[in-house]
Amino acid sequence: MPDYRTLTQNDLKIDSQNMFDILKNFPQQVREAIAIGKAAPFFNDKIQSNEFLILGMGGSAIGGDLLKTYMMNISEGKNLRFTVNRNYTLPFGITENTNVIASSYSGNTEETISAMEEAGKYTKRIICITSGGELEKAAIKNGYPVIKIPGGLQPRCALGYSFFPMLYLIMKTGMLSQPTLGNIEKSVNELVSNLDKKALLYSDFLNADNPALKLADKICGTALVVYSSTDKLDSVNLRWRCQIQENSKNLAFGSLLPEMNHNEINGFSNPSAISNSISIFLLEDIEDHPRTKIRFSALKELLSDSVKSITSVSGEGESFLSRLFDIIYTGDWLSFYLAIFNGADPTPIPLISRLKNKLWTNS
C-alpha cells in the first residue's frame, strides 16, 4: 500500500478511466448543470402543486435525496413535500396534480422507466432528466418535457447534472418567494467558489496536508461506519457510503442520530475482532440540533475504545447548501484515494455489472 506522503503519478495508473480528472473538474460540471437548469423546460401543466415524486436509482436518485434535504432546511422549503422512489412501482397513490421527476442518467434504468409508466396513468405532470436512452424515447412518445444532460460518465460521477436541474426546476414553480430565490442563488455562488478551492486542494496528491488523502490513509484496511443527524446530513451520509462502496470497493455502513443511540450503539461490544477493524465517521453540521451535538460528543467518548478510529467531518461555508456539497466533495475524493490505497480501479463496478447481466439473462 503506498503511503500518502509518497504517492506518485505511477500509483494513479490503476485509475484506468481517469476518475481523478472527473473529480477535479466537478466544479465545471456544476457550472454546466446550473446553466442547464436555468434554461430547462418546465412541466407541461402550469398549475402549482407542492407534491413532488422523484423517480430514480443509485447515482441518479441521490440528487433527489439532496434536494429533499436542502429544501427541508430552508423555511419555505418545508411547505413542499418530496418523496424519492427507488422501485419499479410507486410508493403511494398519486393524483393528477403530483409533480413527477424521472431521473435516469443513462436513460436505461429499468426501475425508473417502469415507475414512470405507472405514474403516467395518473398524471401528465411528468418531466425527465436524462442523457438519452429509453427514458428519453418514452418521454418524447408521451409528450413529457426532457431536461437533457451530457452523457459519458458513471451516474455517481454526474451528481451536478442530477441535482442542479432539479433545484432550478423547483425554483421555477412560483412556490418560493423572491428573497428565498435570491438566497438560493447566493448559496449556489458560494458553493461553486468553495468547490474551486477544494478541487485544487484535493487533487494535489503530493501535498502531505491534503485532507482527503490523509483521511483515506487513516482508515485504509477497515470497514467504515458513517453517522450523521437525521435532519441535516442524512443524504450526505448515504452519498458517502455509496461512493466508498462503489469507488473504493470497501465495506461501508451507516445510520442516523438520534435513532442509533437507542439500539445500534450497543452493538459495538461484540465481536471485538470486528469492532477493532471499524473506522467511524461523524458527519456534523454547525446547525445540527443542540441535543444531537451532545450525542455526537457522547459517541466519541463511549466508542473510542471499541473501534480503530472516530473522525468528525464538517463542511465549510456560510450557507447550508455550500456546506452540504463541501462534505460531499470531501467524501468523493476520500473514496477515490481509498480506492488507490486498496489497489482498486475506482470506476468499474464489476459485481453490479455481473448482477445486471444476470437480470437481463433472466428477463
CA angle 44, 179, 287 (to 5 degrees): 105
Indicate whether 210 and 314 sit together in one domain.
yes
Indicate whether 123 and 206 sit together in one domain.
no
| 180, pLDDT greater than 90 | yes
Indicate whether 172 and 216 sit together in one domain.
no
Percentage of the residues of the chain whose pLDDT score is greater than 70: 96
Position 8 scores a pLDDT of: 85
Indicate whether 31 and 8 sit together in one domain.
no
Indicate whether 153 and 211 sit together in one domain.
no
Position 46 scores a pLDDT of: 75
Indicate whether 274 and 128 sit together in one domain.
no
Where residue 217 falls among pLDDT bands split at 50, 70, 90? very high
| 273, pLDDT greater than 90 | no
| 363, pLDDT greater than 90 | no
Does residue 256 lie within any of the structural domains? Answer: yes
Cell of 342: 486498496
Residue 257 belongs to what domain range?
Answer: 4-12+194-342
Residue of 160, 173, 346 lying closest to 248 (CA atoms): 346
Cell of 283: 458527519
Integer CA distances (angstroms), 221 to 151, 208, 226, 268, 352, in order: 34, 20, 16, 18, 22
Where residue 360 falls among pLDDT bands split at 50, 70, 90? low
| 281, pLDDT greater than 90 | yes
Does residue 67 lie within any of the structural domains? Answer: yes
Contact residues for 124 (Cβ-Cβ < 8 A; gap 6+): 44, 45, 96, 143, 144
Indicate whether 8 and 27 sit together in one domain.
no
Share the mean pLDDT of the chain.
94
What's the distance, Cα to Cα, between the start and end of the chain in Å? 42
CATH of residue 263's domain is: 3.40.50.10490
pLDDT digits (tens, 9 = 90+) for 19-41: 999 999 999 999 999 999 999 99
Does residue 89 lie within any of the structural domains? Answer: yes
> When comparing pLDDT for 5 and 163, which is higher?
163
| 291, pLDDT greater than 60 | yes
Does residue 357 lie within any of the structural domains? Answer: no
Q: What average pLDDT score do residues 151-171 get? A: 97
Where residue 355 falls among pLDDT bands split at 50, 70, 90? confident
Indicate whether 169 and 213 sit together in one domain.
no
Q: In what order do the strands lie in the sheet with 309-314?
A: 252-257, 223-229, 278-284, 309-314
Does residue 182 lie within any of the structural domains? Answer: no
Distance separating alpha carbons of residues 82 and 103, to the nearest angstrom: 14
Q: State the catalytic residues.
A: 246, 262, 356
Does residue 188 lie within any of the structural domains? Answer: no
Task: State the total domains in the chain.
Answer: 2
Q: What average pLDDT score do residues 149-159 get? A: 96
Indicate whether 240 and 172 sit together in one domain.
no
Does residue 59 lie within any of the structural domains? Answer: yes
Residue 155: DSSP 8-state = G
Does residue 363 lie within any of the structural domains? Answer: no
Position 348 scores a pLDDT of: 85
Sign of CA dihedral 67, 97, 174, 288: negative
Indicate whether 199 and 98 sit together in one domain.
no
Indicate whether 54 and 162 sit together in one domain.
yes
Indicate whether 229 and 248 sit together in one domain.
yes
